[in-house]
Structure 1
Amino acid sequence: MVEVSYAQLHAWLLAFLWPFMRLSAFFLAAPLLGHSAVPARVKIGLAALLSVAVAPGLPPLPQAPVWSWAGLGIIVEQTLIGTAMGLALRLMVSAVQAAGEYIGLQMGLAFATFVSPDGANTVVLSRIFNMITLMMFLAVNGHLIVIDTLAASFRTLPIGYSGLNPAGLELLVRYGGTIFAAGLLLALPVVAALLIVNLSLGILNRSAPQLTVFSVGFPTSLTLGLFLLTVLMTDLGRFLQQLFGSGLLFLQQLVEALAPL
């Protein structure tokens, strides 16, 4: 008869619980699986499956009881690590969403907003850009690179032995500027062209008041905007490739920066 002691059960629980907290926090903050449309059971199940997969290769774990102050500190630490890594990827995707917001405002699509299941109003063009970005990320196997980075993070940031370096969190905050820099870089050709058109229509409206903005301006902006979007899509793949490369590189740098000195 096989007998399992309490010490063995506790060791198995720790080997599963600590990585599960980091992985589940990552999936809650990541842009793809962190969406509210994804069922919570899917997020928990995938985090549990990956926890079982990475548990045999983990470094030696601290023998702190789960229901103790040390165990609570480890849970908070792993949650912060997973959340920080998930936010890094979300910032990468938000850059493309910001570009859709800029272009949609210039095209006049701010009147047509998309009501998502979580109750937030989003410009339709921003939601389309978000879907294209996520599909391209899956097409280039970016999710596999992220899973490999997650598994490697347990060697760079061992559980319970290190603590976190505040410089890593500061690096994550500074990376938030990517939303505005990369988003404006993508939207700049379309926004600049539409701005010139809007200025021209404003001058035309002053010289010929019968040519109102609603009768001439909106159709012109929408038509030209759709044409410019067609041209922009031909170079969107190259832009996303560079964005994914820099985002995944930053994810690895973030893990290294969170490691203590």
Structure 2
Amino acid sequence: MFSVTYAQLNGWLTAFLWPFVRILALIATAPVLSHMGIPVRIKVALAAFITLIVAPTLPAMPQATVFSATGVWIIVNQFLIGAAIGMTMQIAFAAVDAAGEFIGQQMGLGFAMLYDPRAGGNAVVVSSYLNALATLAFLVLDGHLQLISALITTFQSVPISTNVVAAASHAQGWKTLVGYGASVFSTGLLLSLPIVAALLITNIALGILNRAAPQIGIFQIGFPVTMLVGMLLLQLMIPNLMPFFQRTFDSGIAQVGRVAGAMY
């Protein structure tokens, strides 16, 4: 008769549950994979499928039961590790959103808002447009596969038994993640700088024209002119976006490795 002991059942459960929590946390926070348009069942099924492939290759799990205090604490740590990796890659997309905000404000479209299902709220229309292009580029460049591969690698660099909360020696990983967040402004400004500079010159030219010929009615033509110039520059910028997105995503994947390495 086939029989299973409690120790065997606990071993099978921990070998699956702890990696599953880390992978599911990544899918819940990573760009594209966490999109609200993807049903929750699909996300859970994808995490379970990846776990079934990865779990047999992992080293021995800590000797703790799932529902003990130690087991619950391990689950919390796995969630934080997966969420930190997902948020690291999310910063690259936040830089694209910031660039859209800067461009929209200069074009006079800062008030033009659209519902963004990715963020679950309203976003500037230019930001939504650039984010859609970034999402397509992310999929074309296999960024989602690279991100999952980077996560699987973290099981070797950051073992299941790692305590990333209580140990002060692991705080460097969180500092690395916070420091990378500063790139949202620098990368966003770098992406939007050509259009922002051109629109600034356009506004200066309109101001000079208003002083030279007040009868033209600069307030009537200023908004259409800046919007048309901004749309034209966006159109001209599109062919150069793919190399920029590729460098941004490669930097995000590399940063994932740095954050994970600093946590151990």
Scaled to the shorter chain, the TM-score interval is over 0.9
C-alpha offsets along residues 37-62 of structure 1, whole Å, 9 cap, x if unaligned?
22211211111111111110111101
The reply on whether 1:120 has 2:84 as its aligned counterpart is: no
Q: Distance between the aligned counterparts of 1:255 and 1:215, measured in 2?
A: 54
2:261 corresponds in structure 1 to: 256
Uncovered stretches (5+) of structure 1, i.e. residues with no partner: none
1:232 corresponds in structure 2 to: 237
Structure 1 stretches of 4+ with a deviation exceeding 6 A read none
Contact 2:36 2:120 in 1 (8 A): no
Uncovered stretches (5+) of structure 2, i.e. residues with no partner: 165-169
* Partner SS state of residue 45, structure 1: helix
* Partner SS state of residue 66, structure 1: coil
Between stretches 168-177 and 33-42, larger displacement belongs to 33-42
Per the normalisation by structure 1, the TM-score is 0.94
Counterpart amino acid of residue 99 in structure 1:
A
Per the normalisation by structure 2, the TM-score is 0.93
Provide the alpha-carbon RMSD of the alignment.
1.5
1:202, CA displacement in angstroms?
2.6
2:158 corresponds in structure 1 to: 157
Q: How does 1:33-182 map to 2 (within 5 A)?
A: 33-117=33-117, 120-160=121-161, 162-164=162-164, 165-182=170-187
* Partner SS state of residue 114, structure 1: strand
Q: How does 1:203-218 map to 2 (within 5 A)?
A: 203-218=208-223
Q: Distance between the aligned counterparts of 2:110 and 2:6, measured in 1?
A: 60
Counterpart amino acid of residue 203 in structure 2:
N
Contact 2:176 2:258 in 1 (8 A): no
Q: Distance between the aligned counterparts of 2:217 and 2:50, measured in 1?
A: 59
Q: Distance between the aligned counterparts of 1:47 and 1:40, measured in 2?
A: 11
Distance change >3 Å, CA 204–CA 98, structure 1 → 2? same
* Partner SS state of residue 158, structure 1: coil
* Partner SS state of residue 109, structure 1: coil
1:206, CA displacement in angstroms?
4.1
* Partner SS state of residue 7, structure 1: helix
What count of residue pairs does the alignment treat as equivalent?
258
In percent, how many aligned pairs have the same letter? 46
Distance change >3 Å, CA 51–CA 82, structure 1 → 2? same
